[in-house]
Copies of this chain bind each other. A is one copy, B any other.
Amino acid sequence: MEAEGLFERMRDRTVSGEFAPGQRLRAETLRADYDVSATTMREILLRLSTLGLVDFQEQRGFRLPEQSAELRRDLTLFRILLEAEGASLSIRRGSVEWEARLTAAHHALGHIESCVLVGKPSPDLLALWVRAELDFHRTLIDGCGSDVLKQAHLAVYYRFRQQLITTDSGFHWVPKNIEQHRGIVDAALDKDEELVRERIREHLMRNMTDPVENYMKVRA
């Protein structure tokens, strides 16, 4: 079976909220889901552990990382560093094609968030939103010209998402999210690097200032 698709699918599962923090991930159990051997599944889990999406201890197996406010804060600050720098570089390099893609990604994300506002929060809609949000933030730094930065950002994004699998079921933060995204795009199109940095910082900081008590688990 194609191992590369397996890797991405398992990566998505580790950040989707399907597993609880600290839960053991037994290769022998997961193997049945894709009809592969335990060895192959172990391979996947080892690779995920290199990215920090799975905890691995020799002779003691795999488990999902525990949640921690400090790690959440750490990942948030690092995302701010990378996205602020990446967006700033993207602006400085000034590609019209990048601006077009950014507005497109923002439009798609905004559309989904509008749907969230009126309709009921369904798991499908949440999945769509997660994908659109990732696409938006990746596009934001996509013109920076540094593959290394983009690669590091993607890795930290997944860890960040994993730490936030307990997300608000009421979507009460959506209005402010729409406003912040628009603000970032506007500042980017104005080529105001400092303002973009500040608004990215403000936008990502939200995840830390909102009290954890307001969050509810969403499991598939």
Interface residues of A (CB under 8 A from B): 2-4, 39, 43, 46-47, 50-52, 58, 71, 74-75, 77-78, 81, 85, 146-149, 151-152, 155-156, 159
Contact = CB atoms under 8 A, between A and B. Distances in A.
A195 to B, nearest CB: 20
Given A81-B81, A85-B81, A75 B148 contact: yes
Judged by DSSP, the binding face of A is helix
5 contacts: A2-B58, A46-B46, A47-B47, A71-B148, A148-B156
A47 B77 CA distance: 26
| Copies per assembly | 2
Nearest to A151: B52
Given A39-B39, A50-B51, A152-B152, 12 more contacts: A4-B58, A43-B46, A47-B50, A71-B147, A74-B148, A74-B149, A75-B148, A77-B146, A77-B148, A78-B152, A152-B155, A152-B156
Contacts of A78: 146, 148-149, 152
9 nearest A-B pairs in the assembled complex, by CB-CB distance: A50-B50, A78-B148, A74-B148, A47-B50, A74-B146, A152-B152, A75-B148, A78-B149, A4-B58
